[in-house]
A and B are shown apart, each in its own frame.
Chain A
């Protein structure tokens, strides 16, 4: 069967040139405005790399130290820019090493185009050297994938790939190109994809849905908003702010929605979820109208679904129809692009302040501050806490930095304590929870936002999962800042072992190497602090550096992240200790 997807024929016939398939790959990327890619060469993708070499004045290729590093770097780039990240890998192990990143991008809706080399088409299915069925492997974790076996397919398939990756709800696309297709030739002309008949990127806004939502909101006494990454992806930060300010609604964020609204906004009431803030978790089960905007009710957000916001009317602003009623039954679904739907909503909303309702959030925050936040920020124990490190970074960067976090306790501390003033400042692996994400993602984030301070915050476990990417930093001289919060434990798993497995610390204690020496080997400036009195100065020195910088902070060994909604509990059963 051929590719019969109906794409409209190009209306403008551009001048044709005879190119190789491999050259057409690079030319197509340039046509899409992609001038940066991450990857790792190998046999089946060598023709493409040969063209990368020839086009090096127009197209920059970053050689990572592992394909997983390449794809996480592309994710970091995509998350701070909103542009599509580009990844190259060879067939077989090159392609399979992308799998974790593809799955991560799929669940966190990150636009990527991954180009993998494949054995020559006559060898397909023969168990040839470095042959793997990456189309079969990647199918459940890609928004779309396609195997190219003929050179002439390349321009139209890459055009489709970019269109699919970064329209509607974004996601990763994988294009597998056989070596003979790379080496074959074609008459090259390029037309951007404008539509695919079987694909509706965003449902058309229905004004009746918006009106129904407005009515519920206007009649609410205790309205509550949870915003997700959809607000950032949909570039609706301003529309969201206009709406919440007019309606006076307390607004919380999911982990991935953070930075879509500045942390110090008076209506921002923190993060929801397992390690979210106390007030928004408690108030989820007390509000009368729950307004979800561009979020998908992940289980880490909702806890026990049967006891989640049951008292409330639920409004869901969402671009992906499959998300509506998936986990939480909605009363009003407002389908469409959130920028359009919020714009349509604004004039229908009455001015309100909900002062008393707001005070209830403040009262709960005061409890959380006393029991959890103050002991983190002003500890009266010797060991350093993760919270005070994040707070130090807030102070030294004035909340202007892009924070790239890995997965585990430090991630939750980063989400809870980091102060964001700009959107697209929070890059983390939320849905998949990929340890090893942050170091390469920070490289991509820095390349995507070269004028911004980019700080990777990583645990000692996750750091060692992709530590080889220090080599990429060394070679490219990318000035990322790396903070490793070292408690010599896989801290989050240890916390669960402490709380739910009678402190049987099975395989969570880590004997770590000298991280400062390792950084030195890569010629990265490095420092290590273990005393409170040295912390701020160390952070200051790191932020002041124009080059990459590694800071290891020795953290108390057995610190825990609280509040916590234990698995199976309702969000309102949020524990403070």
Chain B
């Protein structure tokens, strides 16, 4: 058995209704759980980019990518190891405002973690931290004793070190 590793699957697609369902169904059919999902506009106008993070053997990832790429409205799909990508996650932490002023330590935590204060309201303030999972988790752990009212972390976003050449693929289409 091949060893499971973390892979980022990048899928360039048309921006069409139902594609998310179609692609996630490919994982569901094979009983594969996703670590995270992100969908956004890509560098090309009208082309959506999905990012899926999974822990799987390379053999299975390769087959998955083949099945994904086979879908009519998928332009191209790739998979990469962590080493082959630049990746980040973003997290938001909502905390009671009085703590910010009453407890000097919180200010130090924010400063040392390179987090940003997004907003300060009468009752709460919101901290944003972008980085690797370890960093957002560390901040989470440090803030926990003060009481985190809400916490949310985005799916992974990443770019590959290698070129993906989607524009070339699309340019080659001429009928």
Residues of chain A touching chain B, judged by Cβ–Cβ distance below 8 Å, are 1, 3-6, 8, 135-136, 139-140, 143-147, 164, 194-199, 320-322, 324-326
Contacts and interface: CB of A to CB of B under 8 A. Distances in A.
A136 B170 CA distance: 28
B14 A6 contact: yes
A5 B16 contact: yes
A194 B175 CA distance: 7
B173 A195 contact: yes
Given A4-B14, A140-B29, A145-B18, A322 B75 contact: no
A30 B41 CA distance: 38
A1 B15 contact: yes
B162 to A, nearest CB: 20
Interface of B: 13-18, 21-22, 25-26, 28-29, 46, 62-63, 66-67, 69-70, 72-75, 170, 173, 175
Nearest to A7: B175
Contact of B70 (A6, A135, A321): A321
A136 B15 contact: no
The 9 closest A-B pairs by CB, nearest first: A322-B66, A197-B173, A195-B175, A140-B25, A198-B75, A144-B72, A194-B175, A322-B70, A199-B72
Given A164-B72, A197-B170, A321-B66, A135 B18 contact: yes
A139 B14 contact: no
B21 A322 contact: no
Nearest to B76: A198
Nearest to A149: B17
Interface centre among A3, A5, A196, A197 (most CB of B within 10 A): A197
Given A8-B175, A320-B70, A139 B22 contact: yes
A199 B14 CA distance: 11
Contacts of A320: 70
A129 B62 CA distance: 43
B111 to A, nearest CB: 42
A99 to B, nearest CB: 14
A286 B14 CA distance: 47
Nearest to A135: B18
A320 B72 CA distance: 12
Nearest to A160: B72
A5 to B, nearest CB: 5
A143 B72 contact: yes
Given A5-B14, A198-B72, A320-B70, 12 more contacts: A1-B17, A4-B14, A139-B18, A144-B72, A144-B73, A164-B72, A197-B170, A198-B13, A198-B74, A322-B63, A322-B66, A322-B67
A3 B173 contact: no
Nearest to A142: B22
A54 B16 CA distance: 34
B40 to A, nearest CB: 13
Interface centre among A143, A321, A322 (most CB of B within 10 A): A322
Contacts of B14: 4-6, 198
Contacts of A6: 14, 46, 173
B73 A198 contact: yes
A146 B69 CA distance: 18
Given A4-B46, A326-B66, A197 B16 contact: no
A326 B22 CA distance: 20
B149 to A, nearest CB: 33
Nearest to B46: A4
Interface centre among A196, A199, A324, A326 (most CB of B within 10 A): A199
B158 to A, nearest CB: 22
Contacts of A326: 63, 66
Interface centre among A5, A198, A199 (most CB of B within 10 A): A198
Contacts of A144: 72-73
Contact of B72 (A8, A136, A196): A196
Contacts of A198: 13-14, 72-75
Contacts of B173: 6, 195, 197
A3 B13 CA distance: 12
Contacts of A140: 22, 25-26, 28-29
Contacts of A196: 72
A4 B16 contact: yes
A197 B69 CA distance: 13
A198 B105 CA distance: 54
Nearest to B28: A140
Contacts of B70: 320-322
A5 B73 CA distance: 7
A404 to B, nearest CB: 29
30 contacts: A1-B15, A1-B16, A4-B14, A4-B15, A6-B46, A135-B18, A139-B18, A139-B21, A139-B22, A139-B25, A140-B25, A140-B28, A140-B29, A144-B72, A145-B18, A146-B18, A147-B18, A197-B173, A198-B13, A198-B74, A198-B75, A199-B72, A321-B66, A321-B69, A321-B70, A322-B63, A322-B69, A324-B66, A325-B63, A326-B63
A201 to B, nearest CB: 10
